[in-house]
Chain A
Amino acid sequence: MKYLLLIGVCTLFTLSACRKELVIPPVTTLRIDLQHKVGSAHLAFDSLMYENKAGESYSVTKLNYFLSGIGFYNNSQLVFTVDTIAYIDARTGGYSFRIADIPAFTYDSVSYFIGVPPPYNEHGKLTSTYENVAMEWPDMMGGGYHFLKLEGHWKDTGSISGYAIHLGTNACLVKGGYKASGHTRQGVENVIGLSMDINEWLETPYTYSFKSDGVYTMGDAILMQRISENGRDVIKVLQ
């Protein structure tokens, strides 16, 4: 009886100690695909063929940004958050990332950040890759990281000039959201497509004009705030 008791206690203890290591069967897998568009067309770099709401022709030569805090909501309750701060260089094409072993869920809206959430928006808080380091926002301008680098050229009555829309600092973190309903299913890879419309950076609520507002946002709190607000609906969920 004494031995049986000992066996029981030891077994329970051991099982308890290694319970964390037991493999739990995957519930479902989520893949998020991201694409970049201007209006309804896929983004083509270096081509001065786009027109913003202010009526100015423009091109895109660089689009680098951080996408983070993707959250799925149902009835205003957060049901799932993607715990990733993704660096995206749109020149390399679309972007895709996969999250495995997550519970199935139903959602009716999606939220996101463009930028780095405040707890991580300090030098050295992100993995020290070359790309992340190149996104650092200088200490003397507040530190942290660039949230967005959108650069290109635009045409003003015949002459071509450049523009550089850079966002950074916690106050300008883009907090966006979009109504979109759906659900993830067990046993299959669930794909959710997201699409960034570059035009949206330059409109709604603020119609941004390179000519009247300026071509360079970095260090200009007012311009950055306008761009940040425009970014709230820059990403949509593809149904």
Chain B
Amino acid sequence: MRKTAWVICALIALIVACRKETGNPPANNSTDIPGLTPFIIRPPAHFPKLPIPEDNQPYVEKIQLGRMLYYDPILSNDGRSCATCHVQSKGFTIDGMINDMPVLPHVNLAWNTNFMWDGSQRGTLEDLMLFEVKDFFGTDIAKVNASAKYRELFKKYFAVDNITYKEVSYALAQFVRTLISRDTKYDAYLQGYTSLSYDELQGRNIFFSEKGDCYHCHVNPVLTDNLLHNIGLDSLYTKEMDKGLFNVTHDNKDLGKFRTPNLRNVGLRKRYMHDGRFQTLEEVIEFYNSGVRKVTNLDPIMTKAGKENGLQLSELEKHQLVAFLQTFTDATFTSDTSLSNPQ
């Protein structure tokens, strides 16, 4: 009997000694609050991996708090909320303009590191939200602290007695990170759930070939390369706003460079380019077809031989390209109640 026990002990000792550490490493998230519900953001398989800062991992409760703030005018001093200019039914933008510029939509921002038309904001979504709260809205943080509801929620979810810009921006980033358009007709096509019409397919061929060469900047499937380019809109920069990235860097090579807009829900928009100069997709395509200005820092991609005078698309091809761009419309995104005003 003693011998049997010895054998068992020896075996257990060996197994324990050899056991590989297979458990998850301890969470490196100093802001983890016990009792919160982890939330897994699952972009479709054909999307790039979603970057999420270690110190702002998603939780159901924090996302809901961010959602409340997104729709709450408490953040501004003039009655506006984020949602005033980022209307869900419009793809989280609006038809009009702010400061003579179209409002860039809040869509799939979690993958971006350059923000604003002129790239004046860079970093994470948390950095962007900090800018929106502190500088854009000029949020009166005392007003937020004076709200019993927010004091309680930030205490529960962020473990703070005194709410700062940081916690507000982190909560907003939690929600904005979930604003993912993933359910367009084009996504369904990529996943084999649907087919495109003949015109849409021909438009896709134009978009993803040298004929249209849209794909170098509107990369598949995110539809933006997150970079800034001069696409030859202007040869003279008479208005300050037309100088783009130059206004940030004061480097001549950056004149007229603007961020590549995300094309998701592009068919819902009423204004295109940084100054809203075009009001239809047809006008946008006609610009690429015949209106590109030859400036010295024109993006090299747009200098292909034979296309010095534009894409040279026929009327039918332009129509087909528009048909394909319409497949980027995401009706789920614009109606998903989990993204709408919680009130």
Contact = CB atoms under 8 A, between A and B. Distances in A.
Interface of A: 3, 6-7, 10-11, 14-15, 17-18, 21-22, 46, 61-62, 124, 127-130, 132-134, 136, 138-141, 151-153, 160-164, 214-216, 218-219
A162 B18 contact: no
Nearest to B209: A140
A46 B254 CA distance: 10
Interface stretch (B8-16, B192-200, B237-245): B8-16
Q: Which 10 A-B pairs have the closest CB atoms?
A: A18-B18, A162-B300, A162-B303, A138-B208, A151-B300, A216-B304, A160-B296, A3-B3, A130-B48, A14-B14
B274 to A, nearest CB: 20
Q: Is the interface of A mostly helix, strand, loop or mixed?
A: mixed
B7 A139 contact: no
A136 B219 contact: yes
A102 B2 CA distance: 46
B48 A164 contact: no
Interface string B1-27: 001101100110011001110000000
A10 B12 CA distance: 11
B48 A133 contact: yes
B283 interface: no
Contacts of A124: 46
Contacts of A130: 48-49, 51, 111, 222, 226
Given A7-B10, A214-B305, A17 B18 contact: yes
A200 to B, nearest CB: 20
Interface of B: 3-4, 6-7, 10-11, 14-15, 18-20, 46-49, 51, 111, 205, 208-210, 215, 219-222, 225-226, 251, 253, 296-305
A164 B49 contact: no
A214 B226 CA distance: 28
25 contacts: A3-B4, A3-B7, A15-B14, A17-B18, A18-B18, A21-B20, A22-B18, A46-B253, A61-B300, A124-B46, A127-B49, A129-B49, A130-B111, A132-B48, A136-B220, A138-B220, A140-B208, A141-B208, A162-B300, A162-B301, A162-B302, A162-B303, A164-B300, A164-B303, A216-B304
A164 B15 CA distance: 59
B298 to A, nearest CB: 6
Given A7-B10, A133-B219, A136-B219, A153 B208 contact: no
A215 B49 CA distance: 34
A21 B226 CA distance: 43
A141 B216 CA distance: 13
B47 A128 contact: yes
Given A7-B7, A7-B10, A127-B49, A216 B208 contact: no
B297 A153 contact: yes
Contact of B7 (A10, A140, A151): A10
B301 A151 contact: yes
A11 B222 CA distance: 55
Contacts of B305: 214-216
Contact of A152 (B6, B10, B15, B300): B300
A7 B3 CA distance: 10
